[in-house]
């Protein structure tokens, strides 16, 4: 009898322990949560409303980008830190003009209207009448009815971001934005599917039709929940069996010291971020005062698209490069090609020359044929012929392409002595140290060669170098640090200098540079410039400089590029090729993390006189 009673007691205790995991979380609210009255309209010039701790704010967030100047998002954002990052917005597809108002309509629904009364957003209500709202310390925006029941929550209607404590259920999606400053929906999404998988998709734009997934958990037949713990860990849990699939492979840092968020970014990578809570703290040493990436999913998005039927991540004729576990990803065009759309680097590239026609075109005259060499590069989905054997080498592979009017690219691989011939369009382009193949792109002489390359890159820098002294100095510093970083990487560059550059910037001796950088251990001005950038106070950098102040967008790009050039992690520093493409706008420029105050090690030797090349790469080298 005693044994039976003990058995029943243990079963009951086990049930009670498992019950919280078996049932969905139910939050209860009281009238004390009603910190936002819906009886008074909220306008674009109204004060912001804070969570009890002040860590989050809700209200109209003014957009800073040129294309959205003087427009607002009704949003929730991190409030205590300088980098006041939006975590949810109501009207990303349609920013609100000044004079817009959030109020209850006649049906007690919360509605955002512009000055003309056009509806920009309406909170889903399911027939319930909204009474008040609350912005919680979790970052969750909640609308309550008269009985304090939840009518709608931002945690259940996310955009691209989730926060600790948030749970996503089946059929929930996260949708990326279009760009860093454009909050309208983009071309990537994270989906919790009914089949149990958590999947990352690219979408065909503008139709929005799903394409092939580029990441999946393969948790088939699960009833998945995506859990984001208060400690900053992400995992998928099966609601039926409580089995888990861990998504976090790296330590996110203590939630006592760091804020966390996870976001599917506009480049398609699902990133876990952290940010130091106390920006005045000294105990963390070199902790950056910005959002830093803990982990990106997938690890290498370029490789994730490698087997993709289509243009790949960067589109046809383009090359994808991923840095340091998807912290950053770049799309770039080979020499002799240009972007299909300067504002969207993922649409691919187009040749600046006529395509081979096999009908008395340039390719028929072998004297007009030229090649550019791209190490560690391949377009994996464009093969139409494979040649291999003991007699195959680089020279013969190139000659095979010369003799074939259809051949667009010859790709040689030492392992197996293989030569692959490619057709246009070139699909799934990727450059990576893991790729042992060398690509030789066939094009007419004068395209992609030294003179053409010198024109495209030198012209960009010459246009940037105006009479503004500050812009010249800033660009000088960006290029100097990039060259210095490349020196550490032991990359060989041609050291010639353009006359336009010499008339604007003086040369510095080894001794002057050594003194200014404390023996090449400390970079000059990075903390000051970075803080001005993050605080949106770039005007502080250009006082009394009228030319620079008339083009703040160009100034911001220069500052961002300079900050990327002085990153502590060498894998994050752009090559000179990427520097010029960033400055030109060919490559999307990401928000940089705050650089460390100290570089990893001083150089063993520098020349006594340093010059900076404008024509930065040979035609056969892609940065």
User: Tell me, what's the pLDDT at 609?
Assistant: 26
As a whole number of angstroms, the distance between CA 356 and CA 401 comes to 12
In this prediction, residues 26-44 reach a mean pLDDT of 75
Residue in this structure with the two tokens 């010459």, named with its chain if needed: 462
pLDDT at 614 over 80: no
333: confidence class by pLDDT, cuts 50, 70, 90: very high
Residue in this structure with the two tokens 């080498």, named with its chain if needed: 393
Least confident of 74-78, 559-563, 589-593, 603-607: 603-607
As a whole number of angstroms, the distance between CA 574 and CA 377 comes to 17
375-430 residue pLDDT tens: 999 998 889 999 998 899 999 999 999 999 999 999 999 999 999 999 999 999 99
125: confidence class by pLDDT, cuts 50, 70, 90: confident
Residues contacting 604, CB < 8 A, separation 6+ = none
Q: Which of 411, 416, 417, 419 is nearest to 435 (CA)?
A: 411
- Please say whether the beta carbons of 159 and 149 come within 8 A: no
What domains sit in the chain, N to C, each tagged with a CATH number? 28-153 (2.90.10.10), 158-298 (2.90.10.10), 304-448 (3.50.4.10), 452-610 (no CATH)
Structure-model confidence comparison of residues 391 and 520, the more confident one:
391
User: Tell me, what's the pLDDT at 329?
Assistant: 85
- Please say whether the beta carbons of 50 and 79 come within 8 A: yes
Sheet-wide strand order for 258-264: 161-162, 258-264, 270-276, 292-297
Q: Which long-range contacts (CB under 8 A, 24 or more apart) does 25-33 make?
A: 25/167, 27/150, 28/148, 29/134, 29/142, 29/144, 29/148, 29/149, 29/150, 30/148, 31/148, 33/134, 33/136, 33/142, 33/144, 33/148
Q: Radius of gyration (Cα) for the chain, nearest Å?
A: 28
User: Tell me, what's the pLDDT at 577?
Assistant: 67
pLDDT at 437 over 70: yes
User: Tell me, what's the pLDDT at 398?
Assistant: 96
User: Tell me, what's the pLDDT at 586?
Assistant: 57
Above pLDDT 70, what percent of the chain? Answer: 67
As a whole number of angstroms, the distance between CA 586 and CA 589 comes to 9
pLDDT at 82 over 80: yes
Least confident of 90-94, 309-313, 423-427: 309-313
- Please say whether the beta carbons of 126 and 151 come within 8 A: yes
- Please say whether the beta carbons of 334 and 622 come within 8 A: yes
As a whole number of angstroms, the distance between CA 485 and CA 574 comes to 9
pLDDT at 79 over 90: yes
474: confidence class by pLDDT, cuts 50, 70, 90: low
As a whole number of angstroms, the distance between CA 218 and CA 444 comes to 47
For the packed helices 576-584 and 552-565, what is the interaxial angle rounded to 10 degrees?
160
537: confidence class by pLDDT, cuts 50, 70, 90: low
- Please say whether the beta carbons of 355 and 335 come within 8 A: no
User: Tell me, what's the pLDDT at 358?
Assistant: 83
525: confidence class by pLDDT, cuts 50, 70, 90: low
Token duo for residue 107: 């049906």
Q: Which of 54, 95, 76 is nearest to 162 (CA)?
A: 76
Least confident of 339-353, 454-468, 575-589: 454-468
Structure-model confidence comparison of residues 512 and 607, the more confident one:
512
Q: Phi first, then psi: give them for residue 529, nearest 5 degrees.
A: -65, -40
Least confident of 126-130, 179-183, 417-421, 497-501: 497-501
User: Tell me, what's the pLDDT at 58?
Assistant: 96
pTM: 0.69
356: confidence class by pLDDT, cuts 50, 70, 90: confident
User: Tell me, what's the pLDDT at 512?
Assistant: 57
C-alpha dihedral, 222 to 224 to 230 to 232, nearest 10°: 80
pLDDT at 299 over 60: yes
As a whole number of angstroms, the distance between CA 595 and CA 322 comes to 19
As a whole number of angstroms, the distance between CA 73 and CA 251 comes to 33
User: Tell me, what's the pLDDT at 215?
Assistant: 94
As a whole number of angstroms, the distance between CA 587 and CA 579 comes to 9
Structure-model confidence comparison of residues 38 and 112, the more confident one:
112
In this prediction, residues 459-473 reach a mean pLDDT of 38
User: Tell me, what's the pLDDT at 617?
Assistant: 28
Above pLDDT 90, what percent of the chain? Answer: 43
In this prediction, residues 351-356 reach a mean pLDDT of 89
Q: How many residues does the chain have?
A: 623
As a whole number of angstroms, the distance between CA 76 and CA 94 comes to 16
358-374 residue pLDDT tens: 887 888 888 889 999 99
Mean pLDDT of the chain: 77
Token duo for residue 470: 């500050």
């Amino acid at each position: 009898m005693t044994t039976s009673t003990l058995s029943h007691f243990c079963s009951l205790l086990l049930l009670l322990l498992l019950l919280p995991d078996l049932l969905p979380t139910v939050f209860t609210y009281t009238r004390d949560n009603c910190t936002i009255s819906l009886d008074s309209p909220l306008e674009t010039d109204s004060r912001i409303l804070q969570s009890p701790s002040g860590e989050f704010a809700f209200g109209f967030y003014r957009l800073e980008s040129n294309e959205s100047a003087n427009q607002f998002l009704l949003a929730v954002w991190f409030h205590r830190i300088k980098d006041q990052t939006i975590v949810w917005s109501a009207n990303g597809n349609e920013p609100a003009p000044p004079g817009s108002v959030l109020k209850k309509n006649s049906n007690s629904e919360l509605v955002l209207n512009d000055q003309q009364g056009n509806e920009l957003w309406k909170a889903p209500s399911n027939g319930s009448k909204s009474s008040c709202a609350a912005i919680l310390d979790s970052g969750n925006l909640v609308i309550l009815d008269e009985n304090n029941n939840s009518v709608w929550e931002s945690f259940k209607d996310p955009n691209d971001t989730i926060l600790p404590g948030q749970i996503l259920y089946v059929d929930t999606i996260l949708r990326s934005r279009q760009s860093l400053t454009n909050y309208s929906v983009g071309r990537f999404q994270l989906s919790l599917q009914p089949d149990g998988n958590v999947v990352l998709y690219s979408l065909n734009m503008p139709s929005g039709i799903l394409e092939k997934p580029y990441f999946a958990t393969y948790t088939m037949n699960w009833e998945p929940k995506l859990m984001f713990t208060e400690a900053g860990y992400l995992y998928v849990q099966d609601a039926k069996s409580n089995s888990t699939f861990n998504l976090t492979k790296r330590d996110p840092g203590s939630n006592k010291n760091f804020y966390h968020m996870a976001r599917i970014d506009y480049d398609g990578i699902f990133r876990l971020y952290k940010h130091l809570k106390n920006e005045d703290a000294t105990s963390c040493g070199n902790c950056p005062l910005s959002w830093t990436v803990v982990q990106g999913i997938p690890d290498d998005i370029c490789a994730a698209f490698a087997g993709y039927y289509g243009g790949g991540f960067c589109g046809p004729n383009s090359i994808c490069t991923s840095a340091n576990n998807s912290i950053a990803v770049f799309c770039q065009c080979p020499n002799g090609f240009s972007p299909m759309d300067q504002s969207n680097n993922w649409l691919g590239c187009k040749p600046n020359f006529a395509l081979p026609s096999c009908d008395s075109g340039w390719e028929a005259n072998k004297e007009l044929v030229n090649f550019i060499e791209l190490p560690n590069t391949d377009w994996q989905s464009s093969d139409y012929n494979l040649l291999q054997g003991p007699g195959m080498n680089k020279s013969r592979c190139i000659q095979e392409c010369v003799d074939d009017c259809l051949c667009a690219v010859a790709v040689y691989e030492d392992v197996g002595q293989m030569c692959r011939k490619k057709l246009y369009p070139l699909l799934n382009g990727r450059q990576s140290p893991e790729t042992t193949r060398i690509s030789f792109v066939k094009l007419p002489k004068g395209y992609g060669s030294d003179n053409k390359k010198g024109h495209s890159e030198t012209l960009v820098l010459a246009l940037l170098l105006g009479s503004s002294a500050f812009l010249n100095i800033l660009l000088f510093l960006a290029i100097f640090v990039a060259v210095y970083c490349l020196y550490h990487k032991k990359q060989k560059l041609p050291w010639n200098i353009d006359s336009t550059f010499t008339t604007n910037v003086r040369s510095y001796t080894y001794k002057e540079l050594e003194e200014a950088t404390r023996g090449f251990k400390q970079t000059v001005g990075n903390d000051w410039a970075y803080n001005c950038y993050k605080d949106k106070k770039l005007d502080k950098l250009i006082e009394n400089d009228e030319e620079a102040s008339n083009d703040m967008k160009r100034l911001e790009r220069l500052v961002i590029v300079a900050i990327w050039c002085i990153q502590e992690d060498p894998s994050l520093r752009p090559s000179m090729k990427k520097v010029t493409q960033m400055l030109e706008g060919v490559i999307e420029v990401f928000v940089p993390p705050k650089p460390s105050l100290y570089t990893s090690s001083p150089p063993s030797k520098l020349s006594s006189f340093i010059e900076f090349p404008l024509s930065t790469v040979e035609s056969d080298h892609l940065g």
